[in-house]
Amino acid sequence: MPSASAPPEPGPPLVLSLPELQARIEGFVTEFLDGKSPETIGTYRRTLNEFERWFVTQRGRFRFRETDVEAYKRYLMEERELSQVSVSTYLTALRRLCQYLVSTGELSENPAKGVKGNRRPSTHSRGVLTAEDVTRLFDAVEGDRLISLRDRALMALMVYGGLAEIELVRADREDLEQNLLGWFLRVQGKGHTAKDQQVPLDEPAIEALQAYLAARGRVRPEDPLFISHGHRSDGQRLNTRTVRSRVNTHLKEAELKRPGISPHSLTHTAPLIWLNDGMALEEVRQRMRHGTLDTTMIYFRKQGLLTRKPDAG
């Protein structure tokens, strides 16, 4: 009986320059995704843009091997601190790009095929802050320097408004409005093409934001709500990477940085605060812009974490 044939040896690594990679991505989008919806194509472009940026930092080390794809996955998880679902989305885009390169004959096999994404979690893997943690975090950002006031406002809108990084950096001064019910911010959420959602701002959030805007002086309606105050980038709109870096800095200063605690934890803490204050589940769902009540129920089951001791299990 003939012996089973050995698995084929992987082909030679594929070495591409940045212009060559960009050409392959454009070919993938125009050929491989032909007939897909604009939303699907947009998702692939966005996720592959992230891969392209990381590719540049590798300075030729990424050669389309499985170990290279594993390195990209670690980057998404550890440096970008993306959620499990987002990591899976980014890896799927790279896997499809590699399959396109297999179909064109540039790769003999798909190196991303064996690198699995993470399963969709049944509970949010991000840790949350306790009430004591929140106090320590804001105590760590004292003073009336413009940068300190800005960072306090950023974090207040996350902790007390449930706002995400992308929503904050997209916001303009004219998106901040007041009506008979109070202050709210019009936001363009993830996956949205317009600022079509209104987020109520509770007192701690609006007080911190108004203190920052007053210190900035004259702010035109079309100006970004949050800007850089560095020497070289003064006045420019903040980006999500800067927001993430600033929040991480303050988490470390407050000695709160630990496994599971990230800038996303601030946003995830907001619904626990509301639930502990007695807010109805449906109102929490609306404030967090959850598609279904099932997602909000995750926080309902975790609401006791807000008052636990930091060293509790």
Question: If we measure between CA atoms, which residue out of 251, 287, 281 comes closest to residue 266?
Answer: 251
My answer on whether 87 and 32 are in the same domain is yes
**Domain presence at residue 200:** yes
**Cβ 264 vs Cβ 288: under 8 Å:** no
- Which CATH number belongs to the domain containing residue 80 in this structure? 1.10.150
My answer on whether 135 and 79 are in the same domain is no
> How far is residue 40's CA from residue 26's CA, in Å, rounded to a whole number?
15
Q: Which of 63, 87, 103 is the last residue of a domain?
A: 103
**Domain presence at residue 109:** no
Q: Which residues pair with 199 in a beta bridge?
A: 185
My answer on whether 80 and 141 are in the same domain is no
pLDDT number for residue 11: 60
CA atoms within 13 A on the CB side of 125: 13
My answer on whether 165 and 300 are in the same domain is yes
pLDDT number for residue 276: 85
**Domain presence at residue 13:** no
Task: Find the domain containing 92 and state its range.
Answer: 18-103
Spell out the long-range contacts of 230-238 with Cβ–Cβ below 8 A and sequence spacing 24 or more. Answer: 237/169, 238/168, 238/169
How far lies 133's CA from each of 136, 147, 258, 266, in Å? Answer: 5, 21, 12, 10
Q: Which residues pair with 183 in a beta bridge?
A: 178
My answer on whether 153 and 294 are in the same domain is yes
pLDDT number for residue 1: 45
**Domain presence at residue 10:** no
> Cα torsion at 164, 237, 75, 57 (round to 10°)?
170
In this structure, what are the phi and psi dihedrals at residue 256, rounded to the nearest 5 degrees? -110, -10
**Domain presence at residue 189:** yes
- Which CATH number belongs to the domain containing residue 294 in this structure? 1.10.443.10
Q: Is 199 helix (H, G, I), strand (E, B) or coil?
A: strand
My answer on whether 264 and 178 are in the same domain is yes
Tens place of pLDDT per residue across the chain (313 aa): 444 444 444 567 899 999 999 999 999 999 988 888 888 888 899 999 999 999 999 999 999 999 999 999 999 888 887 777 788 889 999 999 999 999 999 999 999 998 987 654 444 445 889 889 999 999 999 888 999 999 999 999 999 999 999 999 999 999 999 988 899 999 986 667 788 889 999 999 999 999 999 999 999 999 999 999 988 888 899 999 999 999 999 999 999 998 888 899 999 899 889 888 888 888 888 888 877 777 677 777 766 666 665 444 4
In terms of C-beta density within 10 A (0-12 exposed, 13-18 middle, 19 or more buried), how is residue 155 classed?
buried
My answer on whether 135 and 282 are in the same domain is yes
My answer on whether 138 and 273 are in the same domain is yes
Encoding tokens for residue 177?
């409005």
My answer on whether 77 and 151 are in the same domain is no
Q: What is the total residue count of the chain?
A: 313
Q: What is the DSSP letter of 187?
A: E
Q: Scanning the structure block, which residue is given the tokens 């040896």? A: 9
My answer on whether 99 and 142 are in the same domain is no
> How far is residue 69's CA from residue 64's CA, in Å, rounded to a whole number?
7
My answer on whether 164 and 286 are in the same domain is yes
**Domain presence at residue 91:** yes
**Domain presence at residue 120:** no
In terms of C-beta density within 10 A (0-12 exposed, 13-18 middle, 19 or more buried), how is residue 60 classed?
exposed
> How far is residue 162's CA from residue 198's CA, in Å, rounded to a whole number?
12
CA atoms within 13 A on the CB side of 6: 3
Number of domains in the chain: 2
Q: Scanning the structure block, which residue is given the tokens 């004959």? A: 105
Q: Which of 54, 83, 103 is the last residue of a domain?
A: 103
Encoding tokens for residue 233?
């980038």
First to last CA, the chain: 58
pLDDT number for residue 3: 46
My answer on whether 174 and 244 are in the same domain is yes
**Domain presence at residue 2:** no
